[in-house]
Amino acid sequence: MKNMTKTGWITLLGMAALAVLPPYFLLNGHAFYMDLATRLVILGIAAVSLNLLLGYGGLISFGHAAFIGLGAYAVGIPSYHATWGGFDLIASYNGMLHLVLAIGVSALFALITGAISLRTKGVYFLMITMAFGQMAFFLFQALDVYNGDDGLTIDVRSELPFVNLDSPMQLYGLSYVSLAVAMLLVKTIVNSRFGMVLQGAKDNNERMVTLGYNTYFYRLTAYVISGMMCGYAGFLLGNFTTFISPDMMHWTRSGELMFMVILGGSSTALGPILGSSVFILLEEVLSSFTIFWHLPFGLMLIGLVLFVRGGLMRLFKGRGE
Amino acid sequence: MKKLLSAALAATMLTSFVQAAEVKIGFVTTLTTGGAVIGKDQEKAVNLAIEHMGGKMGDLDVNLIFADDGFKPETGKQVTDKLVKQDNVDIVAGYIWSNVLLASRKSVLDAGKFLITTNAGPGPVAGKLCHENFFSASWQNDETPMAMGEVLNQKGVKSIYIIAPNYAAGKGMVAGVKRTFKGAILGTDMTTWPTQLDFSAELAKAKASGAEGLFIFYPGKAGGAFMKQYQQAGLKDSLPLYTTFTVDALSLPKFQAAEFTDVLGSQFTQQWDPTIDNEQNKRFVADFRAKHGSYPSFYAAQAYDSMFLIKSAVEAVGGDLTDMDSMRAAMESASYPSVRGEYTYGNNHMPIQAYYLREVVKDDDGNWTTKIVQTVYEAHQDIYAKDCPLK
Amino acid sequence: MKPLLEVKGLMKSFGGVRATDNVHLDLAKGEIHAIIGPNGAGKTTLISQLSGGLQPDAGTVLLNGADITNMPAYKRAKLGITRSFQITSLVMGMSVLDNVALAVQANDGHSYKFLKPARSICHIRDKAMENLAKVGLRKRADDLASALSHGEHRQMEIAIALASEAELMLLDEPMAGLGPKESALLVDFLKELKGQRTILLIEHDMDAVFALADRISVLVYGRIIATSLPDEIRNNDDVRHAYLGEE
Amino acid sequence: MDYTLLFVQMLNGLQLGLLLFLVASGLTLVFGILDFVNLAHGSIYMLGAFICASLTFVLGNFLWAVLVALPLTGLVGYAVELLMARRLYDKDHLDHVLGTYGLVLVLDTLAHIIWGPAGITVPLPAWLDGQVELFEGAVIPVFRLLIIATGLAVAGGLFWLVNYTRLGMLIRAGASNRTMVSALGINIQTLFALVFALGAMLAGLAGMLISPITGASIGMGGQIIITAFVVIIIGGIGSMKGAFIAAVIIGLIDTLGRSFLDKLFMLFMNENAAETAAPAVSAMMIYILMAIILAVKPQGLFPPKVR
């Protein structure tokens, strides 16, 4: 604890606020703010997973929303069939099955699309990941069984041992703990030998290859890990909103996720959470004042880019860090 | 972040601790994006309705909260959640888009509140997903195109080509016209919604199909784009156009400004028209025009009706909003003065009402508007009612 | 004795320009082989083809008799080929020690290890520190690579090459941009390595080349016009004409 | 096979492709030369449409409106360069993306406030509003032919500009070597501002040309920008030739997909399934194309030579 940096303290403080405030809101009759916090925390997990790629791997994925969608449909589709019949193989309310599906399908999707995408770099990588995201989007739009782009209402949430997802408090608790675990996981990975290779390749790929690292596979591994985490966030989001639609996978959503990470400050532990918090809260607060809230919001983004380099975390950082 | 939270907290306190004798109505519509044309028209109509009521329903003050669905189901659900959980409204009304309604309905109904749609009417909410607290102030999606199918039969059209957007309502419209139209359907194109605005490929296909008529459904700005391209393609004589929800009071002034005369004389079906002869409608149309300088659209008419439907329920229970059973019974009787004239409710709380054939004409001042040419159905009930378990 | 590295008929062109034109070359174990030539002769292109950064159009590259012509760069590194870069190529966002540690880590089994913090693995850090000490950068171990001077960057390149324990070091103008004093230090240092490692040295500094090289090849317009002992190269008329004479 | 229909659809596809090229050419210029990712390029396309639409009513003629609106959109581009883009060149792509996304929100909302959500339907002079029959059965709206002609003319003009003029020489030099251009004593800031304004004018022109077809409406920029990016990525960033070829390919694929995919699908699935699957797959096709091309050629069809 002695060695805690200023950002470390802020991270701790932020996480503490997230632990205390939302339940307080709920108990005082402001269920909506609990909802807001749940959304924020779940998207925070997605942003943290993206940060592993974008911040530490230098891989700007512009199709990450696809994983959220896949994770959410991994809840929606089995639950739909359990209610309305058909597709006996997966028709079930069993949360563990949903979880395995969400993470498994995400991993598979990441493996296939990553293997192709990682042949490119820079903006080309950004665009090819976007293309795969859009393919997922249009695929689910075409699936008439699940109402295409009208979306699917989840009537029964995943049934998990120990946790009842119908209870907003327990759902939030699970999401919060998941976020903490996700942050720790990313931090651990980043500091590990694997993380060193990933960050080295971000900075100077040629050097890393010359040293004997097959950076392609290291990056692919990171891409799969990130995809799985994001798929898990989708699993939570599906259970939270109980309404899922292909729209969750649209490139604009991937863009929002990306903006959250950059806004908060990529390659910092708290940056993604800070970004998603500011993004969601600003949206909420500004839009309650005017329907033209995009105007001040846009101006803020421009101001941030022009005058604060490296995202909001930079505002908190001491000079020496 | 803490500052923001406390600001949010303060805002909450302000709104939720002021509880007077009032009826709180949340109205979900589209106020941003291109869809806002419709939302704005509904907003105007709702405000006019409240003005006509003197700001009161019975003894209760009316507290209206408008929410923007941003033209997206997910956003629609989020703002609905907020209305229900945070603003704690008594009744949620609104919903232009079927997919937004489908996404949001559960949030309202699970909270035990009334939900009144002022436009969207997808099949499921009339059928297997019907609910005792759900009412429609509009129609079921399939009905208007079914009326158009009848019109096509009467006109002796042998074959048609269909172009419609690929979303809930679009599919409903296609299903509707296919149900009643007895001729051949030579092709159906479902286009990407709401992004696709260039229909050159579809129009070329429709023309090549050799159909006798073209049936389309394009609400909002896509309708304007479609009509324009239809005109540019010069298909008026070879491939007459039959529309539903495409030409309306919102697009007509734009067409008139652009001197798009092909629209004059075009026909479409609807449950309402500004010329319907009753006191309520006359007052609504006249005051709306006086205030906003344009004819109200059918979206506006439905939104206007929804407020009077709610008013009838509030008055029936003398302001005791906890007596939901009596409120429900009052609404089921549809005894309020509707701008469309009298109608009744089916078991699924969908209107059983008349459908008319409207035609675009010039009014006395030279403004483009519509008039009724014929009555297609006297009292039509949607086909999903039988799937609804409600009695 | 069989040569460590054999290059046969290597060809590479860029849009019609022959950067490498039928190059034959062999390096004996423990030898320091220098390649000299005017700017634009294709020296860096040659090295890149040996390290795997570029694919030749034709020809073969053999390492210990095994064909590695089409082998990707990372695999060649695993077999013991390392290179330094003419234009400093380091992981600038990391510390000096991290840079060298990455080279050590590369030879310490695979790096699909996700849990243990890399900076707490003693044998890697120690070995990295050892190599930093060899080039005299011990004191700067914790500084960011980007904070170091140009000369220090050159030293880091050498430390990394050493740490990778490669049998064959391809050094691309290690003296470039160094002052006379620093160059002299580096020459001394490379002399010490003589016999332990095989080095392909590209260098413009003729004093360094003649001080270090066992053999010298002269590359002009992608062609090797002579390969011989330093003294013979010094006296070769073609070489004087093509290259040395212009100095 | 209906060859008349095929011909008409190919013309439609060509028209869509050339329109895309107008947007993409500006984008690829700015991206290739200035190394600047401009998401707001689509908003300038939208502004072009709105400005031209308003002017059509003021001046009473669409063509006059275009002539006046062109320099105006150039001016908008110049202002964006001066006030914002210029300060972002030396930052990384992520900052460009975030900043220009902010600009998209600002411009779209301003358009909503100024012109309202309804959008504007743009009238055409009678001689442009009709159709021509190229041969038996092949009837094409005159205005679409005008778009094709304009697109081809602009493409020709751009090739001439890039390959045979001093400005083009500087542009090509700037794309591969920025320091060299500044070493030549050229005021690189002026050059960049010019390129930016030119790009804006091209995007604006595309917006003006589409406005009589779809009308000017808010949100139209967000729809085209991503397709335009797909075009320049497939073509290779900075390559005018690549942008042209990719735009035409995408225009054709999109249109032909919408036209014939459902028939193709009906060969192996029932009619209903085909009717719903076809639009989704045809919407997916440009992305599939991009993924395939990038998987084979990771830097697009015509990669930049030196970066």
pLDDT by 10s per residue, chain B, length 391: 445 555 555 555 444 444 458 999 999 999 998 889 999 999 999 999 999 999 999 999 999 999 999 998 889 999 999 999 999 999 999 999 998 999 999 999 999 999 999 999 998 999 989 999 999 999 999 999 999 999 999 999 999 999 999 887 898 899 999 999 999 999 999 888 888 899 999 999 999 999 999 999 998 888 889 998 998 898 888 999 999 999 999 999 988 988 888 889 889 999 999 999 999 999 999 999 999 999 999 999 999 999 999 999 999 999 999 999 999 999 999 999 999 999 999 999 999 999 999 999 999 999 999 999 999 999 999 999 999 999 7
> CA-to-CA distance for B196 and C16, rounded, in angstroms?
47
Give the list of residues 6+ apart from residue B45 with CB closer than 8 angstroms, or none.
Answer: B284, B288, B296, B299, B300, B301, B303, B304
Interface test with B, best of D258, D270, D287 (most B CBs within 10 A): D258
DSSP assignment letter at C57: S
Q: Which of C69, C48, C19 is nearest to C223 (CA)?
A: C19
Subunit contact A120:D112, Cβ cutoff 8 A: no
Q: Where are the alpha helices (DSSP H) in chain D?
A: 3-34, 41-59, 62-80, 86-88, 93-115, 126-129, 142-164, 166-176, 178-183, 188-214, 220-235, 240-266, 271-296
* Touching A: D residues 277-296, CB under 8 Å: 277, 279-281, 283-284, 287-288, 290-291, 294-295
Return the exposure string of D63-87: e unless at least 16 CB atoms fall within 10 Å of the residue's CB, then b: eebbeebbebbbebbbebbeebbbe
Spell out which residues of chain B touch residue A243, defining contact as CB-CB under 8 Å: 73-74, 77, 103, 106
- Cβ–Cβ gap A263/D91 under 8 Å: no
Closest CA to D221 of D211, D213, D231: D211
> Which of A32, A157, A248 is best to mutate for the B interface (most B CBs within 10 A)?
A32
* Nearest to A279, CA basis, from B325, D98, C74: D98
- Quote the DSSP letter at residue C224: E
Residue-level pLDDT at D138: 85
Domains and CATH numbers, chain A: 6-316 (1.10.3470)
Full-model pTM: 0.91
Q: A93, A240, A78, A234: which is closest to A145 by C-alpha?
A: A78
Q: Do B341 and B235 reside in the same domain of the chain? A: no
Whether B348 is in a domain gets the answer yes
Same structural domain, B62 and B157:
no
Statement: C1-69+199-247 belongs to CATH 3.40.50.300: yes
Q: Is B189 close to D262, i.e. CB distance below 8 A? A: yes
Query: Is D192:D34 a contact under the CB 8 Å cutoff?
Result: yes
Give pLDDT, residue C179: 85
Same structural domain, B107 and B216: no
The dihedral region occupied by D116, where left means phi > 0, alpha psi between -120 and 50, and beta the remainder, is: left
**Pairwise CA distance, residues B83 & B360, whole Å:** 39
A127 and D CB contact within 8 Å: yes
| pLDDT for residue A53 is more than 50 | yes
Give the separation between CA A234 and CA A110, rounded to whole angstroms: 14
Which pLDDT value is given to residue B323?
Answer: 94
How many contacts does B have with D, using Cβ atoms within 8 A?
Answer: 125
Q: What is the mean pLDDT of residues A128-151?
A: 89
Find the angle CA(B351)-CA(B353)-CA(B358) to the nearest 5 degrees: 125
User: What mean pLDDT do residues D99-114 have?
Assistant: 94
Residue D177 has pLDDT above 70, yes or no: no
Q: What is the mean pLDDT of residues C155-183?
A: 88
SS3 D1: coil
pLDDT at residue A124, rounded to an integer: 92
Full DSSP string of D132-195: EEEETTEEEEHHHHHHHHHHHHHHHHHHHHHHHSHHHHHHHHHHH-HHHHHHTT--HHHHHHHH
- Write down how long chain D is: 307
What is the interface pTM, i.e. ipTM, of the complex?
0.89
pLDDT score recorded for residue D202: 97
Confirm if D221 and D42 have CB atoms less than 8 A apart. yes
Chain A residue numbers touching C91 (CB-CB < 8 A):
199-200, 203-204, 207-208
By C-alpha distance, which of A63, A41, A80, A73 is closest to A140?
A73
Residue boundaries of the structural domains of chain D: 8-218
Distance from CA of D145 to the nearest CA of A (A): 31
CA dihedral in degrees (D278, D281, D286, D287; nearest 10)?
A: 170
- Asked if residue B45 and residue B122 are part of one domain, the reply reads yes
Whether B51 maps to a domain, the answer reads yes
Confidence of residue A265 (pLDDT cuts 50, 70, 90): confident
Q: What is the signed CA dihedral for C84, C85, C89, C94, rounded to 10 degrees?
A: 20
Chain C residues near any Cβ of chain A (below 8 Å): 51-53, 72-75, 77-78, 82-83, 85, 89-94, 98, 101-103, 105-107, 111-119, 121, 160, 164
8 A C-beta contact, residue D255 and residue D13: yes
Quick one: three-class SS letters along A191-202? Answer: HEHHHHHHHHHH
CA distance B63 to B26: 8
Residue A79 pLDDT: 95
pLDDT for A137: 93
- What total number of domains does chain B contain? 2
Q: What is the 3-class SS of chain B, one letter each residue?
A: CHHHHHHHHHHHHHHHCCCCCEEEEEEEECCCCCCHHHHHHHHHHHHHHHHHCCCEECCEEEEEEEEECCCCHHHHHHHHHHHHHCCCCCEEEECCCHHHHHHHHHHHHHCCCEEEECCCCCHHHHCCCCCCCEEECCCCCCHHHHHHHHHHHHHCCCEEEEEEECCHHHHHHHHHHHHHCCCEEEEEEEECCCCCCCCHHHHHHHHHHCCCEEEEECCCHHHHHHHHHHHHCCCCCCCCEEEECCCCCCCHHHHHHCCCHHHCCCEEEECCCCCCCCHHHHHHHHHHHHHHCCCCCHHHHHHHHHHHHHHHHHHHCCCCCCCHHHHHHHHHCCCCCCCCCCCEECCCCCEEEEEEEEEEEECCCCCEEEEEEEEEEEEECCCCHHHCCCC
Across the interface, whether the CB atoms of B5 and A21 are under 8 A apart is answered yes
- Residue C117, pLDDT above cutoff 60: yes
Burial profile A92-131: b = 16 or more Cβ within 10 angstroms, e = fewer? bbbbebbbebbbebbbebbeebbebbbbbbebbbbbbbbb
Whether B134 and B148 map to the same domain: the answer is no
Among A93-97, B296-300, B380-384, C15-19, the least confident range: C15-19
- Asked if A210 is an interface residue toward chain D (Cβ–Cβ < 8 A), one would say no
Residues 6+ apart with CB under 8 A from D45: D23, D203, D204, D206, D207, D220, D221, D224, D225
Between chain B and chain C, are at least 3 CB pairs below 8 A?
Answer: no
Asked if B233 and D141 come within 8 Å (Cβ–Cβ), the reply is: yes
Determine the pLDDT at residue D137: 80
Asked whether the beta carbons of residue A123 and residue D93 sit closer than 8 angstroms, the reply is yes
In the predicted model, is pLDDT for residue C247 greater than 50?
A: no
> Taking CB atoms and an 8 Å limit, are B74 and A245 in contact across chains?
yes
**Which position has the token pair 């190919």?**
D10
The answer for residues whose C-beta is within 8 angstroms of residue C37's C-beta and 6 or more apart is C43, C218, C219, C220, C243
Q: What is the reported pLDDT for A320?
A: 39
Say whether pLDDT at D82 is over 90. Answer: yes
Cross-chain residue pair A277–B73, CB shorter than 8 Å:
no
pLDDT, residue D170, reads: 75
Nearest-CA distance D14 → chain B (Å): 11
Residues of D in contact with A135 (CB under 8 A): 284, 287-288, 291
Query: Quick one: closest CA in B to D128, which residue?
Result: B232
Q: Evaluate whether residue B312 is within a structural domain.
A: yes
pLDDT band at D162 (very low <50, low <70, confident <90, very high): confident
**pLDDT tens-digit series, residues C77-115:** 989 999 988 888 899 999 999 999 999 999 888 899 999
Alpha-carbon gap, residue C23 to D143, rounded angstroms: 62
Question: What local confidence, expressed as pLDDT, does residue A84 receive?
Answer: 87
Question: If interface means Cβ-Cβ distance under 8 Å, which residues of chain B face chain D?
Answer: 32-37, 39-40, 166, 187-192, 195, 197-198, 200-202, 204-205, 207-208, 221, 224-225, 228-229, 231-234, 250-251, 254-255, 257-260
* Cα–Cα–Cα angle for D242, D246, D250, rounded to 5 degrees: 175
What is the spatial distance between Cα A42 and Cα A37, in angstroms, rounded to a whole number?
9
Using one digit for the tens of pLDDT, what is the confidence trace for A228-257? Answer: 999 999 999 999 999 999 999 999 999 999
* Beta bridge pairs of residue B114: B91
Contact B351, B265 (CB under 8 A): no
CA angle B41, B47, B49 (to 5 degrees): 105
d(CA C73, CA A208): 10
Residue carrying the six token digits 């059973």: B325
Of D110, D276, D291, the CB nearest to A144: D276
Neighbours of D157 (CB within 10 A): 10
Q: Which of residues 64-123 of A touch D (CB under 8 A)?
A: 116-117, 119-123
Domain ranges of chain C: 1-69+199-247
**pLDDT, average across residues D187-193:** 83
Nearest to A311 by CA among A281, A282, A269: A269
Q: Which residues contact D55 (CB under 8 A, 6 or more apart)?
A: D64, D65, D68, D69
Quote the DSSP letter at residue C16: T
Domain boundary among B270, B295, B323: B270
Quick check: is B391 in a domain?
no
Task: Give A-chain residues touching C106 at CB under 8 angstroms.
Answer: 211-213
Per-residue pLDDT of C128-144, as tens digits, reads: 999 999 888 999 999 99
**What is residue B8's predicted lDDT score, i.e. its pLDDT?**
53
Of the candidate ranges C112-126, D223-237, D255-269, the one whose mean pLDDT is the lowest: D255-269
pLDDT of the residue at A321: 40
Closest-CA distance, D298 to chain A, in angstroms, reads 5
Residue C115 to residue A192, Cβ atoms within 8 A: yes
Determine contact, residues D10/D256, Cβ cutoff 8 Å: yes
- Which residues have CB under 8 Å from A67's CB, separation 6+? A46, A49, A106, A109, A110, A227, A230, A231, A233, A234
Mean pLDDT of A29-56: 94
- State the helix-helix crossing angle for D271-296 and D220-235, rounded to 10 degrees: 50
Contacts D256 to B, Cβ<8 Å = 201
Nearest to B228 among D116, D121, D219 (CB): D121
- CA distance linking residue A227 with residue A45, whole number of Å: 11
Is a pLDDT exceeding 90 seen at residue D24?
Answer: yes
Of C41, C25, C21, the C-alpha closest to C33 is C25
Q: Subunits touching B (CB < 8 Å, at least 3 pairs)?
A: A, D
- Nearest Cα neighbor of D207 from D260, D255, D147, D251 is D147
User: What percentage of residues in chain C have a pLDDT greater than 70?
Assistant: 97
As a whole number, mean pLDDT of residues D1-22 equals: 92
- Here the CATH number for the domain that contains residue B112 is 3.40.50.2300
Place of tokens 């990407």: B192
Looking at per-residue confidence, does D181 or D118 come out higher? D118
Contact between chains at C118 and A207 (C-beta distance less than 8 A) = no
Of D102, D226, D229, the CB nearest to A299: D102
Q: Is residue B360 part of a domain?
A: no
CB of A290 less than 8 A from some CB of D: no
Q: Are D117 and B33 a contacting pair at CB < 8 A?
A: yes
Domain that holds residue B227: 143-270
Measuring CA to CA, which residue among D285, D135, A107, D123 is closest to residue B254? D123
- Whether B89 and B65 have beta carbons less than 8 Å apart is answered as yes
Residues of A in contact with B11 (CB under 8 A): 285, 288
